[in-house]
Structure 1
């Protein structure tokens, strides 16, 4: 039985597909978007997050660290990551939960128990399970095992993905999924690589193949001023969507927000030096109009 590295399981999710859902967040992503609002999801390894605002100086973590990797300073607890092996003892003993371990290997049997506990909400709301990340396709064996188990229980299944991965994996996942939520970040491939670390040729190819399956697809676009809000990019995005087989006419617009800045501080990772901004209301309205003229329903949120 496979295991997957999961950093969060969110109950009562209402923006990750229809109805009330349970969303499973995998850790690790093969893209590295400069604007990512979940930087804790990028690394495929267990990480430790420290919130200095929660720390009361109890020093339980320092006293109980088996590797003497923690030190109390006027600014709070400092971790020597050369000595730290991410055992999580500091998080276990911290009375205010100032330390948080990100990522744990959860067996399918344990995951399904958590999912089954929410079944009543799925039934009442038409909801189900959403697999997100990070990038769930990076955990294909575990993902497929979970999707099949959900299918046997008749739970509605959603995969929230960048569509960057092996085509064979994408198509196999499609056999066990009702809905894909797929990001379309920016259409120019060179610009896509500049901002995400990879070209988008494979992503486009995978989406074209996926569009030939019966699965429903809803596209999402993170709207970042100066990156993908130009008329040229919106028209190219609309033309790409219209070139796909089936009725693929819905896109959710997600204006940029900077909640990642505080997360970088907690992770102790360097934040991106670029300053990103959300487009203003007038620009968003114009983008919605551009999509509408091409027969595509664009809405903010989702």
Structure 2
């Protein structure tokens, strides 16, 4: 059994409790306009080009069997509609400026990689997190991998958008020690506008987690995460609506995280040749995040711990 993984991060502290290793699985059913991992959205890998590594030797252009590469004023152009991702250009690129964004991993490889840091997990109450993309789309793989990791005493978390069929979600989430569950937008029409799909599956799957936890069939933790995106998810109306949803499940939710927008992924969009509407968007003002935080506190009244994470912009000194 294999799965496509486009990135790994060791020593993370924001993808669950303690010190963790995070695996990012290829493919996502949503098209969030602010996505920080655009290379993880398609089901197949991208060919990406990093200008800072390129030495301008034109080897890639010469070896491409479909003649779809060429330099322009803005850098290397790739006709992605005709690209078969054969990888010849990436293998022949002497400076590694061209790379395929993901590769296939076996469960043995994943477990072996995770084991490198087991002493850190044990020392800092950490473990492994499956993220993406959307890891749930590779359900049989992550289910078996989670069971293998549990067998050797490693805590496993699932970071999910919640968007997959309820049948699939119910079949995979029970073995995980923690579910990091995204709630982005309460209104289904706005959710579709900004992510490409409605939120019906997401709300059904959250209800499923709650039912299983209330029945003691699921014994792990549930963390809700909301990306706070300018002019998309950051309206007071949306945060209030989400707070009411969280309040409905206050007996099963262990934490709600408001994740401030950041634009640190600019280079990813450039390397993939993708225009990004948030390229020039500034960080959220600190006062704005504090206002949204206060809205959640007013609704939840300490019944669910709420935390704000990420960088925010301080007001300029007068």
The question of a shared fold, defined as TM-score above 0.5 by the shorter chain, is answered with yes
Equivalent residues of 2:34, 2:278 under 8 A apart: no
Match of 1:259 in 2: 264
Distance 1:75 1:291 in 2: 44
Q: How many aligned positions are there?
A: 301
Structure 1 stretches of 4+ moved >6 Å: none
Aligned 1:181-260 pairs, distance under 5 A: 181-212=180-211, 213=213, 214-244=219-249, 246-260=251-265
Partner deviation per Cα, 1:260-286 (whole Å, 9 max, x = no partner): 443222112343489755432112111
Match of 1:139 in 2: 138
Stretch moving more, 163-172 or 274-283: 274-283
Where 1:208 maps in the other structure, the secondary structure is helix
Distance 1:110 1:292 in 2: 43
Give the superposed CA RMSD: 2.2
Equivalent residues of 1:254, 1:300 under 8 A apart: yes
Stretch moving more, 167-176 or 181-190: 167-176
Where 1:222 maps in the other structure, the secondary structure is strand
CA distance 1:96–1:127, change in 2 (3 Å) = same
Partner deviation per Cα, 1:227-279 (whole Å, 9 max, x = no partner): 22233222211111111163415211111122344322211234348975543
Where 2:51 maps in the other structure, the secondary structure is coil
CA distance 1:277–1:184, change in 2 (3 Å) = farther
Distance 1:141 1:54 in 2: 37
Q: Which runs of 5+ in 1 are unaligned?
A: none
Where 2:53 maps in the other structure, the secondary structure is coil
Equivalent residues of 2:18, 2:121 under 8 A apart: yes
- Following superposition, the deviation at residue 68 of structure 1 comes to 4.4
Match of 1:61 in 2: 60
Equivalent residues of 1:57, 1:76 under 8 A apart: no
Where 2:112 maps in the other structure, the secondary structure is helix
Stretch moving more, 237-246 or 40-49: 237-246
Where 2:109 maps in the other structure, the secondary structure is helix
Stretch moving more, 215-224 or 109-118: 109-118
CA distance 1:80–1:164, change in 2 (3 Å) = closer
Partner deviation per Cα, 1:62-92 (whole Å, 9 max, x = no partner): 3444554434556543334466432223223
Q: Which runs of 5+ in 2 are unaligned?
A: 214-218, 311-318
Equivalent residues of 1:68, 1:83 under 8 A apart: no
Match of 1:300 in 2: 308
Partner deviation per Cα, 1:88-137 (whole Å, 9 max, x = no partner): 23223323321121111111112211112221221121111100000011
Where 1:131 maps in the other structure, the secondary structure is strand
Where 1:53 maps in the other structure, the secondary structure is helix
Aligned 1:83-122 pairs, distance under 5 A: 84-122=83-121
Q: Does 1:161 align with 2:170?
A: no
Match of 2:26 in 1: 27
Distance 2:278 2:177 in 1: 39
- Following superposition, the deviation at residue 196 of structure 1 comes to 0.5
Stretch moving more, 240-249 or 274-283: 274-283
Q: Does 1:287 align with 2:292?
A: yes
Stretch moving more, 154-163 or 248-257: 248-257
Query: TM-score by structure 2 length?
Result: 0.87
